[in-house]
Amino acid sequence: MGEIIRQFSGQYYDYIKSLHLIFVITWFAGLFYIPRLFVYQIEAFHKPSPEKEILGKQLKLMAKRLWFIISWPSAILATIFAIWLLILRPGYLEQSWMHVKLGFVLLLFIYHYKTHIYFKQLQKDEVKVTSNFMRIWNEGATFILFAVVFLVILKSSINWIFGVIGIIVLGILIMLGFKLYKNIRSKNPNA
């Protein structure tokens, strides 16, 4: 029976891989957008009534729907399809690029879990971080995405030195962009 399932799955490997990619994309979409909603929630928390209550209620609803209808299901389905792919092609587990990729996937799960903690706090109107912190937090998924995409595309041909330098340069560029945006916002709060 197991061999029949393996042969059947092997014929549909590209479909399984496509589903994995689709759910990775939707997972990242959720991880990119939810911190943005957190920024707006934190900023709304400091508004006067009734604006604070109206915005807070709407933003909590939006965050809840995004988190439980898109982000969590996508994370679970991406993981299921990833495990299925590794069962079909166990040789990938012997390759060093896959070890590094799985390390980044572990970081992604940690990032997701910590984001879930922020989500739960904000759902209870507990504001423990600033909107500026959340803007920086928003870039965590970006770093992981860049690392994983380059690892998967370049595989064993990746030059680790240039890869590390590239991630550092990306981090510097993102931080410079953040500082520029902060300066623009300080001059024009509606920007």
The residue ranges of every structural domain in the chain are 2-158
With beta carbons less than 8 A apart as the criterion, state whether 122 and 34 touch: no
CA dist 167 and 146 (Å) reads 8
Percent of the chain with pLDDT over 70: 90
In which element (H, E) is residue 166 found? helix 160-187
| pLDDT for the residue 50 | 95
Residue range 174-185: mean pLDDT, rounded? 79
| pLDDT for the residue 9 | 66
pTM of the model: 0.83
Non-local (6+) Cβ contacts of 54 within 8 A are none
With beta carbons less than 8 A apart as the criterion, state whether 69 and 27 touch: no
Of the pLDDT bands very low, low, confident and very high (cuts 50, 70, 90), residue 190 is confident
Q: Residue 126 phi/psi, 5° resolution?
A: -95, 105
CA dist 148 and 154 (Å) reads 10
Q: Measure Cα distances from 115 to 17, 36, 142 in Å.
A: 26, 12, 14
For residue 91, give both structure tokens. Answer: 């040789």
The 8-class DSSP code of residue 56 comes to: H
How many other CB atoms are there within 10 angstroms of residue 59's CB atom? 20
* Phi-psi label, residue 182: left if phi above 0, alpha if psi -120 to 50, beta otherwise: alpha
